[in-house]
Structure 1
């Protein structure tokens, strides 16, 4: 997964953090996700990516009006991305 715009991170205790890729040390809270199992992945509305983890943590990455906001790829997963302004048709 590649995140290219600001996003929200919910830690396992339920506290939300607003984070921005490229801010270095400020992204430290997300390191808690390393090794965690994904419970659910959903794409909502115009391309908001929502990922929930088994420990209660989560990510919310909304569409950006000017830039690609996220790109998801992996073993057994078709490559997905949301472009500038979001995308229609996610409610398949």
Structure 2
């Protein structure tokens, strides 16, 4: 859901309610002990506990910079313990 919302143009009517609804959903999960880790557009480093699905060349990035640009499956923690590993696409130069 987060990926789809982030791909929408911010001028589209109804984006704010979608974002608020997603935040409420995330808070409900957190209240039950689940955490959905936000990895979108975060730097990637070797040794992270994620599964790389695709590597995309991006000449806009600095040399040796790696960024997670697409989250196929989110990382989920339950009471601080990893229960689902993230699947991501990374961009690199």
- TM-score, normalisation: structure 1: 0.24
- TM-score, normalisation: structure 2: 0.24
Choose between structure 1 and 2: higher helix proportion: 2
